[in-house]
Structure 1
Amino acid sequence: MFDAGEGPFAGLLVGSDVLDLASIPDRLAPVRTTLELLRQWDDVVAVLDEITETQPGSWLPLDALTVLPPVTPGQIVQAGANYRTHVLDLAVKHTELSGGRTVEQVRAEAAVMMDERARTGIPYLFSGLSSAITGAYDDVALPGYSDQHDWELELVAVIGRPAYRVGRDEALDHVACYTIANDLTTRDLVFRRDMPEIGSDWLRAKNAPGFLPLGPYLVPASQILDLADLQLTLRLNGDVMQDELAKDMLFDVASLVSHASQYVALAPGDLVLTGSPAGNGMHWGRFLRAGDVIEAGISGLGAQRTTFVSPTQEAWA
């Protein structure tokens, strides 16, 4: 999704130029949003491939456009604790070392648990709100009610075909595109200390305005040769914080989409976030501050650049 100053439009990016898809009514039924495209994905994907080759219509230089969030989803499904190394780091962080136990012992015990979970367990999924979405290059205001705002780079599967109770073997047939999210989290709000038996409180921890930088683009699934080989890299003020291959996932994309579809009717445009690799702020003992800049990318999908500002600047508005 882009804006040239006259309102949002769905565009096809080829190289450094963008085609306004509404400018070719003879090749494609007029659309203004990517959600409209996703709702007819099976019919339009071949047309988009053809347009990429022939390049008809009205093209604009990318650097003259504002890049918007690539889709406004109806539903957001998010995976937690889905990268092996990340979970091992969390186990060490949250385990009291007593009775002569060492960090190495805790990691070894957690590794056995992770292997068993991957073999016999199920993914941990929860839902998010689309009101948290912002663009890949937008500033994000850090709410003043905490100083423990954290980053979580994630691969995102974008649904293009309705999916309900689909098996793992067919799950990826329902994914149209992939994109990038930084699933920002306020760490000290994750758990309800007043109601420990309830567990996590994702509403407060993850859904502040701007807490889901998304995009910049939707990359068709056909362009991704091997999901496991995608490299997720996040830099904070130039320093690498996260750097991991998607194959470190405990449950792969197909498993996550299939599992979500057993309980939720997924629709075109819905997002399935696949979890974040090791290296978030809690691991480093360093949370986000006003003035920080995060550059986060996934190989083949582009990159985000987010500047964090104080809550008084209200960048989300």
Structure 2
Amino acid sequence: MSLDSQEIPALVTTRTTTVMLPVLINVSFAHCTPFPALSTETHALALAYWAPLGLRGTGCIETFLREWDANAALLKQISHDAATFDAIVEDGMPLSSFRMHAPVAPRQVYCTIGNYRRQLLEAALDAGDGPDGPGASARRAVLLDSIEPRRSDGAPYICLKGAVCVSGPNDRLSISRDLTTLDWEVEIGVVIGRSVAHVSAEDALHCIAGYCVVNDITLRERVFRQDVPAVGTDWLQSKSRPGWLPAGPWMVPAWNVADASQLRLWLRLNGSAMQDGVANDMIFSIGEQIAYLSSVTRLEPGDLICTGTPAGLGSHYGRYLRPGDLVEAGVEGLGSQRVLCVDE
């Protein structure tokens, strides 16, 4: 049964980045402490190179992002300077010389659940007697009828995920043999650039430092606790183990993303396409998610928001991650990551 519907907006493929400006990465070499750098497609140069100009916290990605409000204007000026590209190539080192780490080091990680229309519709059709069963049409109608009322009267469903989950874009993902329903979720990660409280959806976009690729690894069998079924979801057991949020390879500053709602997300498992969607399929926009979060908590510089995932989860295919799998996940303009699953 097709997911296309007049109630579901058409997916678009408009590119949102028009020029390749340097991106922010977090790297190390020869077992040194990771440090932030600016990178072209081939080379990287430590941010410390520009510290004499006034950049703060150039020795640590966490400190640099927490000082984003003070650093942003100067970093933008540096990024747009034609001499910067030459400096990265001439004074930097090839990217292949470095180990890539996550380009973020958040104190808080927030994950928006059930935020893509097609993903919710896919789950509704998979339920019960399946997408071709006699009950599928009724489930489809109920789901489609619920989306706009939820948009107008509801709020995003957002959970916390531990900061210890964050790992690098090429790190290995250890999977013990008892984890049989470990699933993938490619998402756009939003990095907060300033302290935010009670901001409107319209103003929220001005609070974003940048965007990155994230994969919100989730253990499906632990989302609902069998021993306390009335309690509801358990995001600690199902989402928050170390390494369950590969991030990167880099952070693209917000000024180089014209419209994040046009970004295309994709994920491949062992070379086969599993997810392919566009952010305009979100029920709650990135601005609306930030506004909602800021109404109940205070967002701080460096905090990370995982904004939801498109259709094509392992729970749809009945195929979950296992040792030996290669997961490639990317977002148009934000790069891609390669994570090898290994036996714990």
Query: Shorter-chain-normalised TM-score: which range?
Result: over 0.9
Q: How do 1:203-214 residues align onto structure 2 when only pairs under 5 Å count?
A: 203-214=236-247
Task: Say yes or no: does 1:158 pair with 2:191.
Answer: yes
1:260 equivalent in structure 2 = 293
Provide the rounded CA distance (Å) in 1 between the counterparts of 2:138 and 2:290: 34
Provide the rounded CA distance (Å) in 1 between the counterparts of 2:229 and 2:123: 18
TM-score (norm 2): 0.86
2:52 equivalent in structure 1 = 26
What amino acid is the match of 2:292? Answer: H
Question: Alignment partner of 1:127: what SS?
Answer: strand
Identity among equivalent positions (%) equals 37
Assess if the C-alpha contact under 8 Å between 2:169 and 2:337 holds in 1.
yes
Assess if the C-alpha contact under 8 Å between 1:182 and 1:213 holds in 2.
yes
Question: Alignment partner of 1:181: what SS?
Answer: strand
1:39 equivalent in structure 2 = 66
2:17 equivalent in structure 1 = none
Provide the rounded CA distance (Å) in 2 between the counterparts of 1:235 and 1:80: 21
Pairs aligned (count) = 309
More displaced stretch, 131-140 vs 31-40: 31-40
Q: How do 1:207-222 residues align onto structure 2 when only pairs under 5 Å count?
A: 207-222=240-255
Provide the rounded CA distance (Å) in 2 between the counterparts of 1:206 and 1:10: 27
Task: Say yes or no: does 1:65 pair with 2:68.
Answer: no
Give 1:217 shift: 0.7
What amino acid is the match of 2:69? Answer: D
Q: How do 1:119-130 residues align onto structure 2 when only pairs under 5 Å count?
A: 119-130=152-163
Question: Alignment partner of 1:26: what SS?
Answer: helix
Give 1:104 shift: 2.2
Give 1:92 shift: 2.5
Q: How do 1:41-190 residues align onto structure 2 when only pairs under 5 Å count?
A: 41-52=68-79, 53=81, 54-55=83-84, 56=87, 58-95=91-128, 101-190=134-223
Question: Alignment partner of 1:177: what SS?
Answer: strand
For structure 1, the residue ranges without an aligned partner over 5 or more in a row are 312-317
Give 1:102 shift: 2.6
Question: Alignment partner of 1:303: what SS?
Answer: strand
Assess if the C-alpha contact under 8 Å between 1:132 and 1:210 holds in 2.
yes
More displaced stretch, 54-63 vs 258-267: 54-63
RMSD of the TM alignment (CA)? 1.6
Give 1:35 shift: 2.4
Give 1:116 shift: 1.6
Select the residue among 15, 36, 40 that pairs with 1:10: 36
Provide the rounded CA distance (Å) in 2 between the counterparts of 1:50 and 1:121: 40
Assess if the C-alpha contact under 8 Å between 2:201 and 2:291 holds in 1.
yes
More displaced stretch, 80-89 vs 30-39: 30-39
Assess if the C-alpha contact under 8 Å between 1:75 and 1:130 holds in 2.
yes
**Cα distance per residue 1:13-65 (max 9 Å; x no partner):** 12321111113332134521222222232332232233332224741211111
Give 1:133 shift: 1.2
Provide the rounded CA distance (Å) in 1 between the counterparts of 2:248 and 2:322: 22
Provide the rounded CA distance (Å) in 1 between the counterparts of 2:153 and 2:147: 10
What amino acid is the match of 1:38? Answer: L
For structure 2, the residue ranges without an aligned partner over 5 or more in a row are 1-25
Runs (4+) of structure 1 exceeding 6 A deviation are none
More displaced stretch, 241-250 vs 36-45: 36-45
TM-score (norm 1): 0.93
Select the residue among 226, 231, 234 that pairs with 1:201: 234
What amino acid is the match of 1:169? Answer: E
Give 1:259 shift: 0.4
Task: Say yes or no: does 1:230 pair with 2:256.
Answer: no
Give 1:143 shift: 2.9
Provide the rounded CA distance (Å) in 2 between the counterparts of 1:258 and 1:103: 35
**Cα distance per residue 1:265-312 (max 9 Å; x no partner):** 11000011101110010001111111110111000100010110111x
Assess if the C-alpha contact under 8 Å between 1:35 and 1:268 holds in 2.
no
Assess if the C-alpha contact under 8 Å between 2:156 and 2:292 holds in 1.
yes
Assess if the C-alpha contact under 8 Å between 1:24 and 1:30 holds in 2.
no
1:314 equivalent in structure 2 = none
2:23 equivalent in structure 1 = none
- Cα distance change, pair 208–29 in 1 and its aligned pair in 2 (3 A): closer
Provide the rounded CA distance (Å) in 2 between the counterparts of 1:210 and 1:48: 30
Task: Say yes or no: does 1:306 pair with 2:339.
Answer: yes
Provide the rounded CA distance (Å) in 2 between the counterparts of 1:82 and 1:41: 28
